[in-house]
Structure 1
Amino acid sequence: TKSHFSGICRVIIVCPEGNGTSSILHYRLLNSIPNIQVEGICSIGELNQINKEEIDLIISTVPIYTGNQLDIINVNPLLYEEDKAKIQRAIKRINLTKRNNGSLLVDDIISIVSNFASIQDYEGLYREVDRFFNQTHIQSSGIQKSLPSFLKPSLIRLNTEAATWQEAFRIAGTLLFQAGYVEEHYVECMISNAQKYGGYMVICDYVALPHAKASDGVNKTGFSFLTLKEPVVFENDQEHHLIRFVAALSADNSMMHLTAMGEFIELVCKKELLEQLLRITDTDEFICFIQTHCSKV
């Protein structure tokens, strides 16, 4: 078993296809919860290949069921406050079981400091103490590319008409196929995944992020962007979502899109910015808008 600092909770992120929404969650976790170490990202099908002895917690974007004794937490990929609270409670519970051989946890240090000093920035202090004891906690995901670097006019279609969500997904996916980012069957895989797993691809109001596994025909990492003249309805079981913005993702296993994904969600989850984006009908203006606002998020 790999050694690690006892104050760190080792997690695996799971989503149906192992990328896309899981990279959103990865970005959120690294920026919200200092005392975790993301050991990897996998699909539901790949979960049984994970070495469970090196994992403390599974964090999933969809409900999963497994016979092992690991903690499993289902969260929204945008990581709302209640999701953060669930994860922190699980980490505290896990850390209680690791208090042996005199191990000194970050929580213990913070507790001692708080007895003698006023802490103005708890999260900042926690993060710095954690870094001091555990340099391996700082994750490296290789070369990261910002969202503007993925913007190409041939991958953008604005104010488009689509009768159904399937048609909208197919138009966005076809842009990726025509540009050589994916094989043709990848487009249908995106649609079948949404039908199978439900609306987890709808990341916030009016915005969908269709995607499939890298092994479903990804040639290289990229995004296509589609805005709709009128919203289409996504319905699956009890779910009902209106969609006007489709960002189709093709992601290989490099995670180079992690930064771009973070910038994207910070942009579209702000209602006023999304409304402005949806009003744009000129491709150059669309690109300029994202370039401008990505430097502010």
Structure 2
Amino acid sequence: MIEFIGIGFIRRKGGILANLTLREDWITTGVEAGTREEVFKVLAQPLYDAGFVREGFLEGVEEREKNFPTGLPTVPFGVAIPHTNPQYVKDNAISVGVLKHPVTFTVMGTDDETTEVRLVFLLALNESQKQLNILKNITSVISDENFLKSFLTMTRKEIYEVLKVNLGGVI
């Protein structure tokens, strides 16, 4: 059970999960990208502009993705949840991209399986132990096939509202 306890905080069994910021203008729909790196660049820019991440964040995300892939082979399309090491992050934040066309990502926990991704949650977390909890919460949001499919037709505002409700007030 997740309980909203204040702006940006949620309480979950075991304590406060995270202080995570998502702004409506950090959600990009119709992202035109042919590679993971292009996706990362689009989604990282608002975090740089707002001062939530440090120099090297983008490169850190790219490097971590090569070594520890984040693609999830969900149905009807794949989802990716890239992130990097805490030293590149000033404040916890998330940026979201709905891709116009699928981009190939390597499946989490493999070296050679791939999935065609249409939805990306770029995480900027300054404490590595928070990553697992945030990943679990996002995974619960994307586990319903029909709900996941609806992301492709939602507006930026609709996605923001859905995430605000379904991530239990994290944002």
TM-score over 0.5 for the pair:
yes
1:288 is displaced (CA, Å) by 1.9
- Using the alignment, how far apart are the partners of 1:258 and 1:193 within structure 2? 15
1:283 is displaced (CA, Å) by 1.5
Give percent identity, aligned residues only. 23
- Using the alignment, how far apart are the partners of 2:57 and 2:18 within structure 1? 23
Report what 1:111 is aligned to: none
Corresponding residue pairs, total: 151
Indicate if the aligned counterparts of 2:80 and 2:105 stay in contact, CA closer than 8 A. Answer: no
Report what 2:114 is aligned to: 240
Distance 1:293 1:144, change over 3 A: closer
Indicate if the aligned counterparts of 1:162 and 1:168 stay in contact, CA closer than 8 A. Answer: yes
Distance 1:251 1:276, change over 3 A: same
For the aligned residues, what is the CA RMSD? 2.7
For residue 287 of structure 1, the aligned residue among 143, 149, 160 is: 160
Distance 1:294 1:186, change over 3 A: closer
**Of Structure 1 and Structure 2, which has the larger fraction of its residues in helix?**
1
| SS state at 2:56 partner | helix
Report what 2:98 is aligned to: 227
1:261 is displaced (CA, Å) by 4.0
For residue 85 of structure 2, the aligned residue among 213, 223, 244 is: 213
Q: Which has the larger radius of gyration?
A: 1
Report what 2:71 is aligned to: 202
Please list the CA deviations of residues 124-155 of structure 1 after superposition, one character each: whole Å capped at 9, or x if unmatched. Answer: xxxxxxxxxxxxxx844xx3348xx6331231
Provide TM-score, normalisation by structure 1.
Answer: 0.45
1:239 is displaced (CA, Å) by 2.1
Indicate if the aligned counterparts of 1:174 and 1:184 stay in contact, CA closer than 8 A. Answer: no
**Residue type matched to 1:154 in 2?**
D
**Residue type matched to 2:65 in 1?**
A
Query: Equivalences for 1:101-116 in 2 at 5 Å?
Result: none
Provide TM-score, normalisation by structure 2.
Answer: 0.75
Indicate if the aligned counterparts of 1:165 and 1:243 stay in contact, CA closer than 8 A. Answer: no
**Of Structure 1 and Structure 2, which has the larger fraction of its residues in strand?**
2
2:56 corresponds to 1:182: no
2:119 corresponds to 1:250: no
Q: Which has the higher contact order (CA 8 A, sep 6+)?
A: 2
User: Which ranges of structure 1 fall in alignment gaps of 5 or more residues?
Assistant: 1-30, 32-137
Please list the CA deviations of residues 263-293 of structure 1 after superposition, one character each: whole Å capped at 9, or x if unmatched. Answer: 321011221111011221x221111222344
**Residue type matched to 2:41 in 1?**
R
Indicate if the aligned counterparts of 2:93 and 2:124 stay in contact, CA closer than 8 A. Answer: yes
User: Which ranges of structure 2 fall in alignment gaps of 5 or more residues?
Assistant: 1-11
